[in-house]
């Protein structure tokens, strides 16, 4: 009897749900209808979502949301959609949106790959941000990393010409893989003179990153322009 090997579907996450604080639960209960996307399968009209025409930015995996909220506050001329599957982080960001009255930031709690495939129109994003994704540092787990040639091809469809793909990681091997996989896609051009760029001013320095710097850890930023 022969066995057929199934290709593994790349997902943007592995579920590691933490316990919600009362404040996070309240945010999800009360603020979800105002600031979060519904679970519909229909294509999202991003201009209608934000009630205006402006450059649209998606960030995959925003963690606790502090960095993304700061970015939205500092760039009011851009509209941001943050995607995160871990509800404590979603609750935290909903609270920040309400506290700062950020009209240019919305939240989705879903698999980013599926959302991009089915709900985001092609050539619609000014920037796609992927900061410190799970590095899956064990060699046998590298196939689980979100940055793979197939996913890069999907990103090239969703980012508009002259738009940007910005990634950051504190794992050198993952940075090297990102560099290889994205550079092989002819729809993208590396904006760096020598592979990587200094952290741009628009990307806030996270607490996680600050701790890493104190321990002597490196961080690699990669910026590509959609051709």
DSSP state of 44: P
End-to-end CA distance of the chain: 47
Known catalytic membership, residue 134: yes
What does the alpha-carbon distance between residue 137 and residue 135 come to, in Å, rounded to a whole number?
5
What H or E segment, with its residue span, contains residue 223? strand 220-226
Residue 12 to residues 20, 59, 98, 146: CA-CA distances in angstroms?
Answer: 21, 12, 26, 6
Tokens of 74: 């500092």
**Choice among 134, 170, 181, 221 that is catalytic:** 134
SS3 45: coil
- What residues are labeled active site? 134
């Amino acid at each position: 009897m022969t066995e057929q090997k199934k290709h593994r579907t790349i997902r943007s996450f592995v579920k590691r749900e933490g316990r919600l604080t009362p404040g996070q639960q309240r945010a999800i209960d009360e603020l979800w209808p105002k600031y979060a996307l519904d679970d519909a399968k229909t294509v999202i009209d991003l201009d209608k979502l934000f009630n205006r025409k402006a450059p649209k930015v998606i960030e995959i995996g925003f963690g606790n949301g502090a960095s993304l909220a700061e970015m939205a506050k500092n760039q009011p001329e851009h509209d941001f959609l943050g995607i995160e599957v871990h509800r404590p982080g979603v609750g935290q960001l909903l609270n920040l949106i309400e506290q700062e009255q950020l009209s240019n930031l919305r939240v989705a709690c879903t698999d980013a790959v599926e959302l991009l495939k089915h709900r985001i129109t092609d050539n619609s994003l000014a920037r796609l941000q992927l900061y410190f994704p799970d590095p899956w540092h064990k060699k046998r787990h590298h196939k689980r990393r979100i940055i793979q040639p197939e996913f890069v091809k999907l990103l090239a469809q969703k980012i508009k010409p002259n738009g940007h793909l910005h990634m950051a990681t504190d794992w050198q091997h993952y940075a090297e893989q990102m560099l290889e996989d994205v550079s092989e896609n002819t729809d993208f051009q590396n904006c760096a003179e020598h592979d990587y760029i200094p952290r741009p001013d628009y990307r806030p320095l996270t607490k996680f990153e600050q701790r890493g710097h104190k321990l002597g850890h490196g961080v690699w930023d990669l910026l590509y322009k959609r051709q």
